Each structure stands twice: as structure tokens, then as C-alpha cells.
Structure 1
Amino acid sequence: MSQEALWISVSPTLKRFHRPLLKYVSRKLTFREWEYEQAEDEPCSLEIPLTLLHDYLKSSADPIHLCGHSTGGIVALLYAYRFPERVKSLTLLGVGVQPLIDWHAHYYTDRQLLPCSQEIVLAQMVRALFGCQNRDRTKGLVSLLKRDLKATPSPHSLFQRGSIEPKTVPSPLMVCGSEDDVIVDPCALAGWNRYLKADDRVWKCSQGNHFFHYYYPQLVGNQIIDFYQNLEPLPVKKNVPRSSNLKSLNCP
């Protein structure tokens, strides 16, 4: 397991936007995906996926590379804080130095401050997450975000916002973001610099908004592969058939 990387997915409605990146890196490295889907009768808590992830990983004696975007990255980060001996490295996409400030936090703040309907606020979130879209695509993405609010574990609600104090990650760390991301802006990425160790790095894509890895999977994938190979040479897979569980999904 020490030569494997694991993508953490806890947003079932948005996981289609991770597929291009996972397809690209899985052709070159042993890159697997761990998924959590919150049931309707479960409490909305990050502790549940953290516990289940630990149950999944604790049977192996070897540490593993963890990687995730947004809430998936937050779960990976919390796991690396809690069980540093089990994490070979940590790659965060779209996670700022104040890790819990994600799109859910922005959404609930806007719902409290703006005299707008949920539909209008979610349409603004679509623009923030994906950039300008036409009317039909915006409508489809609003529907996805509405479902994501119910299906993804989050410490945020209309009544409270969760927070954790930033600190140095014991494992080697790479943080990736986008220059035009308004959810995790360049200042939120630059804030990681005070917590970086010698081999850690912060990398920014020139554009792509919050889902930059969806629009530029090869560019982001090459950065991840380079990060891993600078830690130690990894066996690169050649002529590996596409995994059946990493199918291409089109953006609505």
C-alpha cells in the first residue's frame, strides 16, 4: 500500500467533476478512490467519514498518499492530523489555510446576509465554483448543488459555522488551487506558506475556478505525479486499461 494513492470522495453529487483527473492519474499511478455517501438519517458530521476511513486504512501497516478536493480534502487533512503515521503524503485541492471555509460556508453566509431566494444564491455559487455558464447549465448545476447540501457532511448550517485552527501537517504536503477561485482565493492558499515544511509546496493553476482540476486534469495530474515522485520514485504504470469505475461523466 505504500506505493498507492487514495482519493477521498465525500460529495456523491459532485464526484463527476473529479473523474477526468482520476482517469488521468490512474493511467500512470496506482490511484484508488474511497467514497462516503451520507445517509438521510445520519447526523451531518465529519466524524463519521473520518471513522469509516480509519476503519478502511487501519488494517494496513503501510502509510498511503491521501488526496482530496474541498470537503474530501478536509476529511483527508483531519485524518492526517489525527493519524500522521498512516499518511505518506497529503495533497489538497481547493482547501485554504482556514480549511473549513468551503463553498458550503460561503453559501450559508450569503443566505443570512442577502435578501435572496435559495435559487438565486445557488446560481451565484455556480458562478463562483464553475465560472460563467449559460442558463440551462446553470439550472442543472443549481440542482446539483442543492442535492450536495443534503448529501455531503458539513460542519456548517444556517445556525453555525464550523472552524479549525490551521497548523503544520506532519506528512509531506502539497496544496493546489486556482488564481481565479473565489471560494479558496490566492490569499487563502498563500496562508499555507507559514505552515510549510522543507518538501511541502503550494501550486496554483492560472484559471479554472474552484473545480480547476476538472477543466485541467492533465496539468493538475502532472503536478500530483511530480510531487509524489519527488518524495520517492514511484513505479509508473504503462498500458494499463481504464478502470471500469472511473468512467467519464459530462458536466451538466
Structure 2
Amino acid sequence: MLRSFKINEMVQHMPHDKVLWIDLQPTLYCLNKRVSQLLSRSFAVQRWSFQHDLDESCSIETVHELLKQTLMASSEPMHLIGHGISGTIACLFAEKYPELVKSLTLLSVDTFSANHWSSHYLDMRSQLPASRKAILSHLSSLLFSNQNSRAFEALPCLLAKCLDTEFIQGSIVNHQPIDNLLAPNVPTFVLNGDSDFVVDVNSHDRWSETLKSGDRYVSMKQGRHFFHFDHSQQVAQLITAFIQMVPGQWIDRGLNANDFTSLARS
């Protein structure tokens, strides 16, 4: 089998509120798991995990086709969540198939599609006279808070495995182009860290040019690229509040930015 994907259902308390966590880099799912578990208290959370064979090229169209098959088999549209490049691919999918998506939540995602941790690694690797291990160690210090020493020490190994076996954007010699993002025609929530090395603070301005009325952008105070690992409780609360206002009332209530920024700034 050339490519495979799997769905792991985590819980199903509320079958009419289905959340699908898009996971194109399964090695890093341990950093998403806390938020997923917290969300599973309120929603039926499933994980859509994608992997492809080593040394085999994989297009975005392939991922989209497999994801489309999954969502078409569902009894209703689902709430999609994705971090990093998984969020980028989910956003492009929601733009292409809005009828299959109930809402979209993006973590550490920029409108500039080249802004992923892997693309920054490839730039460093091609320009710096340093070993792969040294570059990954340095990159980890920029991507992840060192408050959790064990997680911080493990991150370079996780990133290395991800680079070798999972979906990334391009290679050292050949970058795979991805279209820059526009907010799709579904309720969209963007949650980024304000200390993210990859998705810089100007992403707020870039997103505000494309987000629709009722869409939300939150900047997590002191959050780095994997902020949702350190701030899982706050992130889960913000996502839950957003999803619970979809559909209909999320626009009718006349929300303002304070509805979503208060938790992030506390």
C-alpha cells in the first residue's frame, strides 16, 4: 500500500459535535495530545493521521483526496483542527471543499505558506556550516519553551524523525510550492503565539486582511511555535468557546475580540 491514513476516535460524548484533528506529522502528535484530550470532554474528537512510504513523493492533492473520502463518509460536516503545516493543508482543503467543513481552527499557521518549522530548518541546513544535530538543537530552543526540560531535550529527536519519515514542505534542494492562504468560506479561528520564531507577530496583520466577519484571531502571550503544549488548558478553552458558537449564533451574537483574547492574555 503506497499511502495510508488512519482515524483514531478518542471519545464520543456528543455525536453531533465532531472534531477532526488533522495530523500530517504523527511523530509530533505527543505535543497535540493534551489539547485533544481536553477537547474530548465536550466533543467527539478524532485524529486523522497520514503517512506515506519513505522516499516517495506526496502531493497535497493526494492528501486532500484521502481527507475528502473520510469526510464524505461522515454523516455531517466536521470541525477541523490543525497545527503548522497540517493546519495549512486543512485550510486549503476547507477553501476547496467548504461544504464538508463545519469550522476551521488553525494553530501556529501563517498566511505565508512557506512559514513552517521544516522550511526554516531547510534554510538553516543549506546556509549554515553546522551539523544536522546542532541545527535541530538550536531550532528546538526557538520553537519550544524550555520550561519542561524532558520535552525540550526530546524535541530535536522528534523533529529529526519527522523530517525523515513524514510530510514536510520540500527538501534542501527542492521546495514544494504551496499557495498562500485565504480564510475559507467557513467559520475560522486562528490561534498563534506572539513569541513564535516561525509565525512572526506580523501574521496578525496578514490574517486580518483575509478573515471574514465573525472569524477570530488570538495571539497567545509568550507563546512559541508549540505553545499549545505548555498552554493546553487555555488553548482548549478558547477552541471550545469557538466551536460551541458554530453555526449561526457565532455571528448573531455580535462578538468582539475580547471574547477570545481574555483567556490568552490572562
TM over 0.5: yes
2:223 aligned residue: 208
Q: Which amino acid aligns with 1:124?
A: H
Inter-CA distance 173–138: structure 2 relative to 1 (3 Å threshold): closer
Give deviations 1:204-230, integer Å, cap 9, x for gaps: 111231111111111001111111122
Equivalent pair of 1:45/1:153 in contact (CA under 8 Å): no
State how far apart, in whole Å, the 2-side matches of 1:27 and 1:129 are.
Answer: 28
Give deviations 1:108-151, integer Å, cap 9, x for gaps: 11112212111111111101211347987655321111110022
Inter-CA distance 54–198: structure 2 relative to 1 (3 Å threshold): same
Which TM-score applies when normalising by structure 1? 0.85
State how far apart, in whole Å, the 2-side matches of 1:198 and 1:60 are.
Answer: 28
Whether 1:48 and 2:62 are equivalent positions in the alignment is yes
1:66 aligned residue: 80
Equivalent pair of 2:91/2:183 in contact (CA under 8 Å): no
Give deviations 1:8-58, integer Å, cap 9, x for gaps: 111111100101000101012222211112222532433332221111111
1:222 aligned residue: 237
- Once the two structures are overlaid, the 10-residue window that deviates more, 62-71 or 18-27, is 62-71
State how far apart, in whole Å, the 2-side matches of 1:130 and 1:222 are.
Answer: 21
Whether 1:164 and 2:179 are equivalent positions in the alignment is yes
The equivalent position to 1:20 in structure 2, one of 27, 31, 34, is 34
The equivalent position to 2:43 in structure 1, one of 25, 29, 34, is 29
In structure 2, the gaps of 5 or more residues are 1-14, 250-266
Ranked by relative contact order (alpha carbons within 8 Å, sequence separation 6 or more), the top structure is 1
> Shift of the alpha carbon at 1:72?
1.6
In structure 1, the gaps of 5 or more residues are 235-252
The number of residues matched between the two structures is 234
Equivalence map 1:229-248=2 (5 Å): 229-232=244-247
State how far apart, in whole Å, the 2-side matches of 1:199 and 1:136 are.
Answer: 39
> Shift of the alpha carbon at 1:2?
5.5
1:87 aligned residue: 101
State how far apart, in whole Å, the 1-side matches of 2:148 and 2:186 are.
Answer: 42
